[in-house]
Amino acid sequence: MPLIKSVKGISPKWGKECWIADNATIVGDVIIGDQCTIWFNAVVRGDVHYIHIGNKVNIQDQVVIHCTYQTSPVEIGNNVSIGHGAIIHGCHIGNNVLIGMGAIVMDDVIIEDNCIIAAGAIVTKKTHIPSYTIFGGIPAKKIKSLSEEQFQNEVINIADHYPMYASWYDEIK
């Protein structure tokens, strides 16, 4: 069973057809939409501020999502993929976004719709990432504009596949 805990009387909630790994941790003021997947050893910790997650979001293995006390919540749109080992902290992520493996997204970052954050990137505090761009590096900077082909192959297809992967397991929450 995943570790699901209330904090100050507030319990996590999730929508229909979600899959949560047995060793995932979700605590506090967390609202998760429909068809989301929370993978092995992921931590979604809404103890110091809220975390709102849209529909068809996949939070892959060893991702950590957290906030800053009373100042920076986390808001994640629809069709978002957060790659293995990424850290998402006190930021806003729009719809149709891919966060690469091991990326770090810091407080008060705004990632608009239809973007890619490259694997290993560090997006520093208060960075604003415009739609249809790819950001990477340390600190993350614009690498190039996102083509329609990249958008379909690397953003939409990954988000579409994760509910299917979850269906291979025995239980859907």
CATH of the domain at 118: 2.160.10.10
Strand pairing partners for 30? Answer: 51
Amino acid identity, position 76:
I
- Reference 31, options 60, 47, 49, 53; nearest CA is 53
Q: Which domain holds residue 8?
A: 3-158
29-44 pLDDT, tens digit each:
999 999 999 999 999 9
Cα-based angle 81, 140, 55 (whole degrees, multiple of 5): 20
Report the percentage of the chain scoring pLDDT > 70: 98
The tally of domains found in the chain comes to 1
Tell the residue number behind the tokens 């379909």, with chain if given: 152
Q: Does residue 172 lie in a domain region?
A: no
Q: Does residue 58 lie in a domain region?
A: yes
Binning pLDDT at 50, 70 and 90, where does residue 171 land?
low
pLDDT at residue 94 above 80?
A: yes
pLDDT at residue 172 above 90?
A: no
Over residues 109-134, the mean pLDDT reads: 98
Q: Does residue 47 lie in a domain region?
A: yes
pLDDT at residue 76 above 70?
A: yes
pLDDT at residue 86 above 70?
A: yes
- pLDDT averaged over the chain? 96
pLDDT at residue 6, as a whole number: 97
pLDDT at residue 173 above 70?
A: no
Binning pLDDT at 50, 70 and 90, where does residue 116 land?
very high
Over residues 87-113, the mean pLDDT reads: 98
What is the per-residue DSSP string for the chain?
--EEE-BTTB--EE-TT-EE-TT-EEEEEEEE-TT-EE-TT-EEEEEEEEEEE-SS-EE-TT-EEE-BTTTB-EEE-SS-EE-TT-EEES-EE-SSEEEPTT-EE-TT-EE-SSEEE-TT-EE-TT-EE-TTEEEETTTTEEEEEPPHHHIIIIIIHHHHHHHHHHHTSS---
pLDDT at residue 80, as a whole number: 98
Residues 49, 66: contact at Cβ < 8 Å? no
Q: Does residue 165 lie in a domain region?
A: no
Over residues 108-133, the mean pLDDT reads: 98
Q: Does residue 169 lie in a domain region?
A: no
pLDDT at residue 26, as a whole number: 98
Q: Does residue 168 lie in a domain region?
A: no
pLDDT at residue 168 above 70?
A: yes
